[in-house]
A and B are shown apart, each in its own frame.
Chain A
Amino acid sequence: DTAVSQTPKYLVTQMGNDKSIKCEQNLGHDTMYWYKQDSKKFLKIMFSYNNKELIINETVPNRFSPKSPDKAHLNLHINSLELGDSAVYFCASSPIDRQETQYFGPGTRLLVL
């Protein structure tokens, strides 16, 4: 029983391509997030969604577009990939009454060549 799952696990692509990462949680949580972890392990929030609505966009370039078709899913589409987008992307979720407690997925390792 995977609580927060992401696909794909690895993504290797050329600069300029468009790619998507999918995230699903089966915890019944209302809030979902995308984080970016760079090569130095620094973990930074990108987006927060609550009940399918965008709550926080941490000055992420417009090339990144999250989409939440329902409360259990939060996908991330990236246009015109750049070398600097290479990182590990984590999806997370939290319950509405304990938003501060986050449950992370296994991560998607993106490498842009």
Chain B
Amino acid sequence: QQQVKQSPQSLIVQKGGISIINCAYENTAFDYFPWYQQFPGKGPALLIAIRPDVSEKKEGRFTISFNKSAKQFSLHIMDSQPGDSATYFCAASRSGGFKTIFGAGTRLFVKA
């Protein structure tokens, strides 16, 4: 019930291409779904987040698509750049729950 499943484990994309990372959750009590970006040697940093009352959120080249009925959400990185090469984590939490469950991470490499 507490798991967040993330795929793929790793992803190689050409510069200018679209990177897509998928996540699925089980616990319907979750009401906040963030994506974190982590560069080597650094801590994760919040990239973009969505709540279940909307199906899509876009910030610059980053878009979250959310499917409440399927309990799935995904991150799309448009016009992927070498600087986007990092590990991406999806996560899920419940408001006031003091606990965030992270997916296993996706290592993205964008080829120049």
User: For the complex, is A55 an interface residue (Cβ under 8 Å from B)?
Assistant: yes
Taking CB atoms, residues of chain A closer than 8 Å to B105 are: 41-43
Taking CB atoms, residues of chain A closer than 8 Å to B89 are: 43
Chain B minimum-CB-distance residue to A58: B99
User: For the complex, is B42 an interface residue (Cβ under 8 Å from A)?
Assistant: yes
Given the known A-B contacts A99-B98, A104-B44, A106-B43, are A42 and B104 also in contact in the complex, defined by CB atoms under 8 Å? yes
Chain B minimum-CB-distance residue to A42: B104
- Give the distance in Å from the alpha carbon of A50 to the alpha carbon of B101 in the complex: 18
Taking CB atoms, residues of chain A closer than 8 Å to B32 are: 100
Taking CB atoms, residues of chain B closer than 8 Å to A17 are: none
User: For the complex, is A66 an interface residue (Cβ under 8 Å from B)?
Assistant: no
Residue in B43, B45, B97, B107 whose CB lies within 8 Å of A107? B43
Taking CB atoms, residues of chain A closer than 8 Å to B42 are: 106-107
The reply to whether B100 and A100 form a contact with Cβ atoms under 8 Å apart is yes
Size bracket of the A interface: 20 to 34
- Give the distance in Å from the alpha carbon of A76 to the alpha carbon of B87 in the complex: 26
Taking CB atoms, residues of chain A closer than 8 Å to B104 are: 40-42
Taking CB atoms, residues of chain A closer than 8 Å to B93 are: 99-100
Chain B nearest CB from A44 CB (Å) reads: 7
Would you give the 0/1 interface string for B80-93, flagging 1 where the beta carbon is closer than 8 Å to chain A?
Answer: 00000001010001
21 contacts between A and B (CB under 8 A): A31-B98, A41-B107, A42-B102, A42-B104, A43-B44, A44-B102, A45-B101, A48-B98, A50-B98, A99-B95, A99-B96, A100-B32, A100-B94, A100-B95, A100-B97, A102-B44, A104-B36, A105-B43, A106-B43, A107-B42, A107-B43
4 nearest A-B residue pairs (beta carbon) = A104-B43, A100-B32, A48-B98, A100-B93
